[in-house]
Structure 1
Amino acid sequence: MLNNPTVEKLKSLKLKVMAQMLSDPDAALRELSFEERLGIMVEKEWLSKKNSRIERLLRQASLGLNACIEDIDYTVDRTIDKKVIQTLSTCAFIEQKLNIVISGKTGSGKSYIACALGNCACRHGYTAKYFRIPELLLEIQESKLENRYTKYMLSLQNIKLLILDDIGLKAYSLEESRDILEIAESRYNKGSTILSGQVSHTQWYDLFPDPTIADAIMDRVIHNAYILALDSKISMREVMAERIIKNL
């Protein structure tokens, strides 16, 4: 009789796993002491809440690819430093508020690594968000038209790991350049940013019409960044497609 009100109180406290274990006890646990049973209940509740938070963070991140660190391909045909990736996978760079710049030709795996690091960040409990820069710039323009630009830019600033893919697909207008600088400025020493694109960071100056803005962006992004220059003799999209076909 005691269990019924206790179970309801646990549910009201959103301790659903503990409530379920109390209402439907496992016979294998009856031989354990009260402290041991309680410890197991608390552990399972904690794991459930942790997994739920990770799932929520992954949904909110909207990663462009279903990628994870464990599945990165380190074959001899690719120039990827495994030790650097392993260092980044600890997410210490997020605590240190450092950036990552990834460059390489089409199919070299830039987006995959960026999204894998985003996945890793979520699994470590950090907020992350993925954007293709062309789409982000459209969203920023829309926020201006709807008089919510300040609020939108603040939302970007508060993300622990911001992933900006496809930088350098085109040269940017003066207004777009200012928006990119605003993002870089607002996140400097406050959050980490991953920028990925085919164009090497040494050529970013050509993307912006105003050299002063270009200098400001570079100063806030590059000097505190890990630089990953990828190369691959074969397109990783081709490799992944072949693997899918073989598994059919």
Structure 2
Amino acid sequence: MDKRQEIIELCKELRLPSIRRMVNDESNFKKPDEAFEVLLQVLHQEHSDRLIRSKQNRIRTANFPQKKLLEELVESSLPDQARQKLPYLKTLKFIEEGQNVIFTGSPGTGKSHISIALGIEACLAGYKVFFATVPSLINQLKEYKSERTLRSFELKFERYDLVIIDELGYISFDKEGAELLFTHLSLRAGRKSTIITSNLPFLKWQEIFHDPVLTAALTDRLTHKSHVINMNGPSFRMKET
């Protein structure tokens, strides 16, 4: 590809129609070769800067509570199943396949760290990610419902490439909260990826949903096409203490 054509392709990607029209007619430049050389450098820099800004924007709008990276994990200290599954999860193929990932197990074993780190990797790879703890998500849903903007949020929620729901099981919620959470997670079932972390095994989810039928339905939908990873083990935080 010559410089002129490369500039035209970059202008299309960067949405710069005026420059593209100028470049289409070389008579607009006294010395086209020199002008194209400079212009190409400028456009490559703009393209690079936009890529960096878009990655930063995706990470910011995902609303992660803190920055956790995969390289910060002490993999040798992770529970066995997490250690075995991590190489696959790092590829992010589970997002392409619309598969769920469910981390269940005792506190302090790396569930939130892995989830946030995978979310950041997904943002860097160009995926749109949403992060929330269960209590904060339910509060948001109730507010949207009272303000009659719930449908607008639903449309956004089901389009995220990856949704991360943290801390399921730490706090129980009322019937309205259970139904709202069930409805929104069901929107994504079988189509888009959701990561869930929970300190409770599935058999105890009924304790927080207070409805055996709803609990069974939600468990069935979430575990379909999913990776369920046992995270029971000694607490990292307790070791550090």
TM-score tier after normalising by the smaller chain length: 0.7 to 0.9
Q: Give the corresponding residue for 1:56.
A: 57
Gapped regions of structure 2 (runs ≥ 5): 1-10, 17-33
CA deviations on 1:140-198 (whole Å, 9 max, x unpaired) are 11111111121122221121111111101233322122111111221112311111121
SS in structure 1 opposite 2:65?
coil
Which residue of structure 2 aligns with residue 158 of structure 1? 159
C-alpha distance in structure 2 between counterparts of 1:61 and 1:76, whole Å: 28
- Give the Cα–Cα distance (whole angstroms) in 2 for the partners of residues 232 and 46 of structure 1: 45
Q: Is the 8 A contact 1:166 1:196 kept in 2?
A: yes
Q: Shift of residue 78 of structure 1?
A: 4.2
Alignment correspondent of 1:171: 172
CA distance in 2, matches of 1:43, 1:238: 48
- Aligned-pair CA distance for 1:65: 2.3
Query: How far apart, in 2, do the equivalents of 1:126 and 1:35 lie?
Result: 33
CA distance in 2, matches of 1:221, 1:84: 18
Q: Distance in 1 between matches of 2:196 and 2:80?
A: 18
What corresponds to 1:93 in structure 2?
94
SS of corresponding position for 1:202 = helix
1:55-86: CA deviation from partner (whole Å, max 9, x where unpaired): 00000011122111222111246435434212
TM-score, normalising length: structure 1 = 0.76
Q: Give unmatched runs, 5+ long, in structure 1.
A: 1-9, 16-32, 243-248
SS in 2 for 1:119: helix
Kept in 1: contact 2:135–2:171 (CA 8 A): no
Deviation at 1:42, TM superposition (A): 5.1
In the alignment, the residues of structure 1 paired with residue 125 and residue 212 of structure 2 have an alpha-carbon distance, to the nearest angstrom, of 38
Partner residue, 2:234: 233
Aligned-partner Cα distance in 1 for 2:197–2:235: 19
* Structure 2 residue identity aligned to 1:90: T
**Cross-structure match for 1:189:** 190
The aligned residue for residue 30 of structure 1 is none
In the alignment, the residues of structure 1 paired with residue 237 and residue 43 of structure 2 have an alpha-carbon distance, to the nearest angstrom, of 43
Are the structure 2 counterparts of residues 42 and 100 from structure 1 closer, same or farther at C-alpha, using a change threshold of 3 Å?
Answer: same
After TM superposition, the structure 1 = structure 2 runs for residues 24-63 of structure 1, keeping only pairs within 5 Å, are 43-63=44-64
Q: Tell me if the contact between 2:101 and 2:226 (Cα under 8 Å) persists in the aligned partners.
A: yes
Tell me the C-alpha RMSD between the 2 structures. Answer: 2.9
1:70 is aligned to 2:76: no
TM-score between the two structures when normalised by the length of structure 2: 0.78
